[in-house]
Amino acid sequence: MKRLSVVDVNLCVGCQCCMMACNRRFGEGGIAESAIQIKSIGGVERGFIVMVCRACKDPPCMKVCPTNALTKRPGGGVILNHSKCIGCKRCAETCIIDAISWDESVEKPVICVHCGYCTDYCEYDVIKMEEVK
């Protein structure tokens, strides 16, 4: 199984092409449904942070979900069952690296499924897919 990993954040130029790519998986242009977020560390001159799920083996977000909408993904991280999710935001609050994005239009979390689509659109090798045992 594979997971998305952040190789070297110093290489990031802040282009946000990864965000747009993730959103495109759902067929629309934008960022509202992106599971990966890029922010500057207080001004672009200081560089960027990449906020995305790091595929915990024992996911804290899953444990706090009151409806069991989150289940373990083989290879780390979680899978979200949309119909079970009640949009309580507990998962997002529990993930201390803020890797859970929020889709305001449906009030549901957006969590990386480690599909790797975004990595094809990072020109600077900041993110890549990595084999996990």
Partner 1 sequence: MNDTLSNILHIDLSRKRFWTEDRNELFNEMIGGSGVAINLLEQECPKGIDPLAPENPIILAVGPLTGLYPIASKTVAMFKSPLTGNLGESHCGGRSAVAIRFAGYGAIIIKGASETPVYLSIHGDKVRFRDASVIWNMANSYTVGRILREKESGSGIRSIMRIGRAGENQVSYASVVTETYRHFGRLGLGAVFGSKQLKALVISGKKNIPVSDMKGYRETYKEIFKLLSTAEMRKYHELGTSMNIIPLNKLGALPAKNLQTSKFENAEAISGETFEKNFLGRRVSCAHCPVACIHLAALREAYESEPYFYKTEMISYDYELIYALGSMLGITSPQALLKLMDEVEILGLDAMSTGVALAWATEAQQKEIITTKETNGLKLKWNDEESYSKAINYIAAQVNEFYKTLGKGVTYASSKYGGKEFALAFGGNEMPGYHTGPATHLGFLIGSRHSHLDGAGYSIDQKALAKNSKPSATEIIDKLIEEEAWRQILSSLVICFFARGIYKPELISKAFKPIGKEFTEEQLKTIGLRILKQKYRFKKREGFSLKNLEIPERIFQTETPSGKLSKEIFNEGLKIAELKLTSI
Q: How far, CA to CA in Å, does 65 sit from each of 1, 33, 36, 97, 119?
A: 24, 20, 21, 17, 29
**Least separation in angstroms between CB 123 and partner 1:** 4
Distance CA 11, CA 106 (A): 33
Residue type, 80: L
Size of the site for partner 1 (CB under 8 A): 30
Does 87 interact with partner 1 (rule: CB under 8 A)? no
Distance CA 112, CA 66 (A): 20
Q: Which does 131 bind (CB under 5 to 8 A by kind): partner 1, ligand SF4, none?
A: none
Q: Which does 104 bind (CB under 5 to 8 A by kind): ligand SF4, partner 1, none?
A: partner 1
Q: Which does 59 bind (CB under 5 to 8 A by kind): ligand SF4, partner 1, none?
A: ligand SF4
Chain positions 31 to 60 lying near partner 1, rule: CB under 8 A, are 31-33, 37-40, 42-47
Cβ neighbours of residue 82 under 8 Å, at least 6 residues apart?
Answer: 69, 108
* Radius of gyration (C-alpha) of the chain in whole angstroms: 14
Binding stretches for partner 1 (CB under 8 A): 13-17, 20, 23-24, 27-33, 37-40, 42-47, 104-105, 121, 123-124
